[in-house]
Amino acid sequence: MAVRAVRGAVQLERDEAGHMGEQVRALLTAILERNGLTDEDLISIWFTATPDLHSDYPAAAARGIGLADVPLICAQELDIEGAMPRVVRVLAHIETDRTRSEIAHVYLGAAAALRKDIAQ
C-alpha cells in the first residue's frame, strides 16, 4: 500500500457557512467515491480557502460527513491578483493501492478551470 495525495477544489457561489458546508461535503464525497476510498484510507486533509471566505472553516464540513478522527487543518491561500475568488482547495493524503496516474483529482464546477491538466 502506498501513500498518495489527492487534490481537489470547488468555487463557492457565496460566502455563507451553510453553502460552504454543502459544497465542501460534495467535494469530499466525490474525492472518496471516485478514488474508492473510505475514512480508514485517509491519513490527513489540508484545506485552503481564498482570503475572501470568512463564514466557516472548510474542515467543519469534513466533520459533518463523519471524518471524526482524521487530522484536518485549514489555511489561507495566497492573495494573488486575478486569482479565482471564493475557492476551497483540498489536499488529502491517503493510503491506496492505486498508482499516481490512477488517482482521480476532483475539481467541481468552475474550479475545473484551475487544473485542466489533472481534473477528472
Find the CATH number of the domain harbouring 107: 3.30.1330.40
Decide if pLDDT at 69 tops 60: yes
- Strand partners of residue 91: 7, 46
User: Given this model, what pLDDT does residue 119 score?
Assistant: 57
From residue 16, alpha-carbon distances to 19, 54, 60 in Å are 5, 8, 13
Give the residue-averaged pLDDT of 5-26. 98
Assigned domain for 70 exists: yes
pTM across the whole model: 0.94
Assigned domain for 52 exists: yes
C-alpha cell belonging to residue 99: 498508482
- Pair 48, 76: CB distance under 8 Å: yes
Q: Report the domain count for the chain.
A: 1
Assigned domain for 120 exists: no
Q: In 10 A of CB 76, how many CB atoms?
A: 10
Give the residue-averaged pLDDT of 25-47. 97
Range of the domain at 8: 2-115
Decide if pLDDT at 77 tops 80: yes
User: Given this model, what pLDDT does residue 120 score?
Assistant: 57
Assigned domain for 12 exists: yes
